[in-house]
Amino acid sequence: MLAGESDTIAALWADCGLTRPWNDPLSDIAFALAGPASTVLVGELGTDIVASVMVGHDGHRGTVYYVSVHPDHRGKGFGRQIMKAAESWLKQQGMWKLNLLIRADNTKFHAFYEAIGYTVEPRTAMAKWLDPSKNPANRDQKS
């Protein structure tokens, strides 16, 4: 990714329905680019960014976030290419496994990930809001 492409990538993520009001994609991009353990990769068609992924690792395992292909360019292999790029980046960093999380309401992409070799593992994802004011469930509640 080049300097100045953050707005374009954030717009792509929004077009793909990946952004949420409580996560600022521009802050996420800046954070990913600030350290050696993460980056943002892009796929281009001519001069247009049509795919992207934010990728990072903890020293052992990698994780991908915001895997995106512009809706007008789905089914053309860009998803496979951007995931292959993420996997290659992680291998170059010495990682041996890639984890990804898919939102429960994003079921149409389960088949895509299975087709490129990902499997469901018997795990339970748990979370705790360290700052309850950021929890979307609390946003509509009055104090």
Cα–Cα distance measured from residue 80 to residue 112, given in angstroms and rounded to the nearest whole number: 9
Each as own residue / partner, the long-range contacts of residues 131-136 (CB below 8 Å, 24 or more positions apart, any chain) are 134/22, 135/22, 136/20, 136/21, 136/22
Please give the model's pTM, rounded to 2 decimal places.
0.89
Per-residue confidence of the chain (143 residues) as pLDDT tens digits? 777 999 999 999 999 999 988 889 999 999 999 999 999 999 999 999 999 999 999 999 999 999 999 999 999 999 999 999 999 999 999 999 999 988 877 788 888 999 999 999 998 889 998 998 888 887 665 54
Cα–Cα distance measured from residue 28 to residue 71, given in angstroms and rounded to the nearest whole number: 22
Q: At what angle do helices 6-15 and 25-34 cross, to 10 degrees?
A: 130
Could you give phi then psi for residue 50, rounded to 5 degrees?
-115, -10
Could you give phi then psi for residue 56, rounded to 5 degrees?
-155, 175
Ordered by where they begin, the domains of the chain are 6-138 (3.40.630.30)
The span from the first CA to the last CA of the chain, in angstroms, equals 43
